[in-house]
Amino acid sequence: MAEGRDRRGGRPELHRRGFRAGRPLDDDDNDDFDDEAGGQRARHMREIRGNRDDRDERDNRRPRNDQDGGRRNDRDNRRDDRGAGRRDVGRGRNRGQGGNEGGRPGRKLILSECFMRDDLVKRDPANIVLTLSSPQTAFREALIECVKKTNMLKIMLSVLAKAFKCKSTPEQFNRAYIIIEESRFFDNVASYFLDMQAEDSYIRQLEFKQPIHDMICVMEGLVDKNPTSITQFVGIHDILKTVIDNLRERSTVIDDDLLKSFSAFTERKELLLKRGMG
């Protein structure tokens, strides 16, 4: 038997002192002690779980203004951004005569050869003037590009010949004409007509007829609006006279209608110069 223990393995001093309510502690009390300790731990765990459940329940009942509101704001902002993008595209479409048709805000309308030949030249004169004078049209860039592209120069002459017939929108016409002057477009046209004199191919000579006709229309249209501008076309008129005379000698490109319109402009030019309009 172990030292300090009775026959049942218990400690006699505990029996003498008493442990629970003055009653000696026997083996059954040891078991009760263990059961009570386990029960206390179980109650403690239930309290912990209960507190956690109460906290979760309070969180569920609490209005989620910050989190939910933030998500709603994000959705609203994205929806507004998409709507603004669609509105911008809508404003870019069909901006009116002379606007950025079919383009985005800030992007200029490019006057390509295809666009001028298939679309612009078929419009009425006022519409053409509004298009050319619009800040949203790359008119100056197109005029400069004509230096390197002969076909584009011929198409541009056709566009201007029709635009110069415009009897309205004087402010827009003056704006477009200033761009033409600043780009020195008519100097390029003069060089183009000078090169005609060296052409011997009849097929190529046939291509000169329309540009000559268009240039005569440009000169007549501008002089109608501003008679003093006649001096600007004295040089081109002299070049055209030489080209027309050479073509009449070598081919039948110059018909009677073209010759008649050129002769009429020549008479008008001489009359204006005599009056001192130049």
Of 4, 38, 9, 42, residue with least CA distance to 25: 9
Predicted confidence (pLDDT) at residue 11 exceeds the cutoff of 50: yes
Nearest to 132 by CA among 93, 82, 171, 88: 171
Q: CB count, 10 Å around CB of 17?
A: 11
Contact call for residues 111 and 143 (beta carbons, < 8 A): no
**Which of 74, 144, 71 lies closest to 111 in space, CA to CA?**
144
Q: What are the residue ranges spanned by the domains of the chain?
A: 12-55, 113-274
Report pLDDT digits (tens) over 201-248: 889 899 999 999 999 999 999 999 999 999 999 999 999 999 999 999
pTM: 0.63
Question: What is the model's pLDDT at position 242?
Answer: 95
Rounded Cα distance, 19 and 17, in Å: 7
Is residue 22's pLDDT more than 60? no
**pLDDT (tens digit per residue) in 154-205:** 999 999 999 999 999 999 999 999 999 999 999 999 999 999 888 888 898 9
pLDDT digits (tens, 9 = 90+) for 38-94: 555 656 566 656 555 555 555 555 555 545 555 555 555 555 555 444 444 333 333
